[in-house]
Amino acid sequence: DVKVTQSSRYLVKRTGEKVFLECVQDMDHENMFWYRQDPGLGLRLIYFSYDVKMKEKGDIPEGYSVSREKKERFSLILESASTNQTSMYLCASSLSTGKGYTFGSGTRLTVV
Amino acid sequence: QKEVEQDPGPLSVPEGAIVSLNCTYSNSAFQYFMWYRQYSRKGPELLMYTYSSGNKEDGRFTAQVDKSSKYISLFIRDSQPSDSATYLCAMTPNAGGTSYGKLTFGQGTILTVHP
């Protein structure tokens, strides 16, 4: 059935580590998005991509980078993890014609 | 001020109650409006999708959009314990195009329906 798969449900990493979060969709969607979700702050857009090798900054890109080498895969990279990056990370995808997102189940990242 | 405001609740109602969830927004360019439901430790799932003003009904769920007041609502009739979740409103100016369908979300309202 589904659709958007995030590689890990839970991750614990140490401060300063380089962290990779992987997201794969099987719906041939053009657009892919990375959000983080924090209590009281809601969903905040980190980066998105509208095509292979294309990326755009969202509202909070600092400390993150992304990679989209294939249409179905969108990776979020934390270059040097910090404790304030402890959060729930959600990947989503959508068609270029819109009609809303399909989300993955999320990755709960804890940086210690 | 946030572009989209949503009362975070929490909202607690008895089974069978009618639930009203609301969002207000400030950007008059928004034309597409959505409601997502998010169960604990899961990703959000699309519940309702509407374009411009008016009502849309799907089973026990009704979405209303009043663009003149910049106000959207989700009504849940005959609420069930299985409706207990966080409900997020979301909106965008364009379905695709140059905005790539990027959504602006409300904070989410936590709903509990108790038996």
B20-70 pLDDT, tens per residue? 999 999 999 999 999 999 999 899 999 999 988 889 999 999 999 999 999
Check residue B99 and give its pLDDT: 62
Give the SS3 label for residue A69.
Answer: strand
Q: How far is A58 from chain B (nearest CA, A)?
A: 10
Which of A40, A43, A99 is nearest residue B95 as measured by Cβ atoms? A99
- Cβ of A95 within 8 Å of Cβ of B96? The answer is yes
Check residue B95 and give its pLDDT: 65
Of the candidates B69, B79, B57, B59, the one whose C-alpha atom is nearest the C-alpha of residue B22 is B69
- For chain A, residues with pLDDT lower than 50 are none
Contacts of A105 in chain B (CB under 8 A): 41-43
Burial of A23 (0-12, 13-18, 19+ CB in 10 A): buried
% of residues, chain B, pLDDT over 70: 95
Contacts of B49 in chain A (CB under 8 A): 99-100
Among A66-80, B79-93, B96-110, the least confident range: B96-110
Cα B13 from Cα A112, distance rounded (Å): 38
